[in-house]
Amino acid sequence: MAMVYSTSGRHIAVDLWGVDFDLLKDAEWLEGHAVEAVERTGATVLGVQSQQFEPHGATVLVLLSESHLSIHTYPEHGFAAVDVYTCGEHVVPEEAIRYLIEILKPEKVFGKKLVRGEGEMRVEDVSTARGELQIR
């Protein structure tokens, strides 16, 4: 009998503002932390790709068996766009977001969580309170 996979998924996108320039300019450093973030979710890493831009900025993409994690940085603006999309019920994408917020230490976090694959998509807010990520 063939394995039946769940279509249920969670897609969390956050904008991180007020991040230190030096943390956002190094693709290699970001890549290592992106993989660490994914490992905390219980997801399976299939591959990692990163690109260092000149004069600064980086993009990191971690391909997962369950979907992906991406980071796009604009150090000159203190900004990082981060998203994690995972399918199935055993992976906890919130843990990746929490870890990246912990190491990047943004001044402000704005985000949304999209619940997908269960019919009409549902959007939930993501906020921080006293540095703690609140994902409902």
Q: Which residues belong to the active site?
A: 67, 72, 87
Determine phi and psi for 126, rounding to 5 degrees.
-125, 130
